[in-house]
Amino acid sequence: MSYCLNPGCPEPENPDDVHSCQSCGLPLSLKERYRAIKPIGQGGFGKTFLAVDEDMPSKRQCVIKQFFNQSGLKAQKAKELFVQEAVQLEKLGKQHPQIPELFAHVELGIGLFLVQEFIDGQNLLQELQQEGAFDEDKIWQLLNDLVPVLRFIHSQQVIHRDIKPDNIIRRQVDSKLFLVDFGVSKFATETALARTGTVIGTQGYAAPEQSEGKAYFSSDLFGLGATCFHLLTDTHPSKVFSQYSDWEKYLRINLNKSGIGDTLKPVLTKLLQPEISQRYQSAEEVIQDLRREPTKATAESPLIFPTSEVKPPTQAWRCVHTLTGHSNVIQSVAVSTDSAILASGSCDKTIKVWDLGSGELRHTLTGHSSCIFSLAISPNRQTLASCGDNTTRIWNLKTGKLLHNLKHSKSVGSVAISSDGQIFAIGGNKTIKSWNPHTGERPPTFSKELGYVRSVAISPDGHTLASGSNENTIKIWNLHTGQLLHTLTGHSDTVHSLAISPDGQTLVSGSFDKTVKMWNLSTAQLIRTLFEQSSKVNSIAISPDDHTLAISGYGVINILDLLTGEQVFTLCDLSGWVNSIAISLDGQTLAAGGSDRIIKIWKRH
């Protein structure tokens, strides 16, 4: 069936094989591509439809959100919010796998339309109505899954302002939680935070300050607490939180009725404080309270809750491809942001470009005169950067054509690309250089004394560069000026691999001293030694949802839950050193290459 998007159409249902509505004559596809099948929801500003993308071979499902043109100031404000959602989704959906991606934004005479990724599942209000009140384990899972998403959007200076069960969808295939409906979100500039605005939010879930037209990052945390309260008690929070004078009493009575343990209770109580100063100030503070003590306790990280309270998600990985073709050690692998392409670099002086889904070889790139030590694929999936010998080469990823050959005076072995694709950071023997591929500029000079820089990583906001070297240190730089901000010490051997969490808050380092350490990127403080393995750490990778950390060494890849430090899976069907690993943007695929000259690809299931 095709469904007409004209709100005034008397008979909107149409057969699949017609292109125009048989009742009103309007085209049945947006942009001659997105065809609505049926309505699936209706809210204050319009309707939501299940649709198909007819330009894709798979005819993938998507969602069309329609805003009706109305008259008056209220309608104009609603239209602003609808356009604002498009802006936020375009920015956030590309960078985090638990936020729906925006496919299109269309304005027609019959209304405004957003086309976005379809999340096949139920929202948590529907789940509550069908299955009853959540138990404590499900609330822990909710917090562990969603708080990192809030940390990410807050790092992008966005306040959601309408956190509630209706706006959290559990994907059916893997139970992953998605945060949706950014229509009332707010960009949190200092000016905006100081200004009283429109009262927006849902009664019961909206923090008290939102009734005054103000919203802060901690306002979203209140909404999360109210969501947990509703799911635990099956009592709408508006029935309890309207009596501010007896807030603590009502909260305590209802939480006691839910039968939750003494460790979850203080977390929810702090989330739900009416006074902002008494509430959690950031998602990072909540995460610190959710983390459990690692297997080997360290003095750096006193944690609040015992091991039994936080249960990492179950993980299992299955090898789906073993790729051969390199004639020497594989030193580097990289995966494109659409999870379609895998690139591998080897000491056979070649780069191979593979189809990640099928394992088929697309291109073999030649030109380097020695090992390719590092690869990076641009966020727009157009270019591939490779480091080896005294050159950095930039390739057209689709055609395999060499676009640029940057020559250096000394050997280079690490490269990273900023999230906007504007800056390439290149590290090597006593050198770090940056380069803008669009202008050819090489802005800052990183002039402090350096050893051999073995790893570089750029923060998601594009402002900060981290570098690790054989001097056993990590240096934190301002990427735009080259200013050295911090020098991190603690490793006793070469820092060979670095990764920055998608929210930009956490830096993870892997060293030849066999340890993995976790740092606060902004304060340069060591959070804890996260893991210690029996061999040196060659490579680390963080999944885009901030949950999974992969660590490679000799003949093994250890999979950890990043929030808890718990080892949740081990890939051990490997031989020799695993030199490089990469995780796809959806967190479901892991690729690795090493001294056995083969590439293995695993799928999470």
Rounded mean pLDDT, 595-600: 94
Model pTM above 0.75: no
Element (H, E) at 529: strand 525-532
Greatest Cα pair distance, the chain, in angstroms, is 74
What integer pLDDT is reported at residue 230 of this predicted model?
A: 92
Residue type, 387: C
* Residue 600 in this model has a pLDDT that exceeds 90: yes
Rounded CA gap, 197 and 214, in Å?
Answer: 6
Which one, of 517, 544, 7, lies nearest residue 294 by Cα?
517
What integer pLDDT is reported at residue 475 of this predicted model?
A: 95
Rounded CA gap, 263 and 520, in Å?
Answer: 25
For 552-579, what is each residue's pLDDT tens digit? Answer: 988 889 999 887 778 888 887 788 899 9
Q: Which residues on neighbouring strands pair with residue 552, listed in sequence order?
A: 539, 557
Rounded mean pLDDT, 541-557: 86
Rounded mean pLDDT, 88-95: 75
Look at the alpha carbons of 54, 56, 62, 67 in this order and tell me if their dihedral is positive or negative: negative
Higher pLDDT, 240 or 221: 221
pLDDT band at 329 (very low <50, low <70, confident <90, very high): very high
Rounded mean pLDDT, 161-173: 91
Rounded mean pLDDT, 125-141: 91
Which one, of 331, 324, 325, lies nearest residue 579 by Cα?
331
Residue with tokens 């010490």: 489
Where would I find the H helices in 119-274? 124-131, 136-155, 190-194, 217-233, 238-241, 247-258, 264-271
- Any idea which of 151-160, 164-173, 412-421 has the lowest mean pLDDT? 151-160
What integer pLDDT is reported at residue 359 of this predicted model?
A: 93
Q: Is 573 annotated in the active site?
A: no
Rounded CA gap, 380 and 420, in Å?
Answer: 8
Rounded CA gap, 150 and 282, in Å?
Answer: 9
* Residue 187 in this model has a pLDDT that exceeds 60: no
Q: Catalytic residue among 16, 53, 55, 162, which?
A: 162
How does the average pLDDT of the chain come out, rounded? 84
Rounded CA gap, 343 and 362, in Å?
Answer: 10
Rounded CA gap, 433 and 424, in Å?
Answer: 8
- Any idea which of 170-184, 294-308, 371-385, 439-453 has the lowest mean pLDDT? 294-308
Alpha-carbon distance values, 24 to 106, 110, 182, 235, 305 (Å) = 20, 12, 32, 45, 61
pLDDT band at 183 (very low <50, low <70, confident <90, very high): low
What integer pLDDT is reported at residue 310 of this predicted model?
A: 39
Higher pLDDT, 7 or 312: 7
Which one, of 504, 532, 490, lies nearest residue 294 by Cα?
532
Alpha-carbon distance values, 248 to 253, 254, 262, 269 (Å) = 8, 10, 16, 8
Rounded CA gap, 491 and 46, in Å?
Answer: 56
What integer pLDDT is reported at residue 8 of this predicted model?
A: 86
For 379-432, what is each residue's pLDDT tens digit? Answer: 888 999 999 888 999 999 999 999 999 998 888 989 999 988 889 999 998 889
What integer pLDDT is reported at residue 43 of this predicted model?
A: 64
* Residue 188 in this model has a pLDDT that exceeds 50: no
For helices 247-258 and 217-233, give the axis angle rounded to 10 degrees: 50
Higher pLDDT, 257 or 231: 231
For 437-471, what is each residue's pLDDT tens digit? Answer: 876 666 666 766 678 999 999 998 889 999 999 99
Which one, of 27, 177, 180, 161, lies nearest residue 93 by Cα?
180
Backbone angles phi and psi of 475, in degrees to 5: -115, 135
- Any idea which of 107-116, 178-187, 394-403, 539-548 has the lowest mean pLDDT? 178-187
Rounded mean pLDDT, 352-374: 95
* Residue 538 in this model has a pLDDT that exceeds 80: yes
pLDDT band at 163 (very low <50, low <70, confident <90, very high): very high
DSSP secondary structure string, 132-158?
-S--HHHHHHHHHHHHHHHHHHHHTTE
Which one, of 481, 443, 478, lies nearest residue 464 by Cα?
478
For 20-50, what is each residue's pLDDT tens digit? Answer: 999 999 999 998 899 999 998 876 557 889 9
Q: b vs e for 387-405, b when ≥16 Cβ sit within 10 Å of the residue's Cβ?
A: bbbbbbbbbebeeeeeeee
Rounded mean pLDDT, 240-257: 63
What integer pLDDT is reported at residue 139 of this predicted model?
A: 92
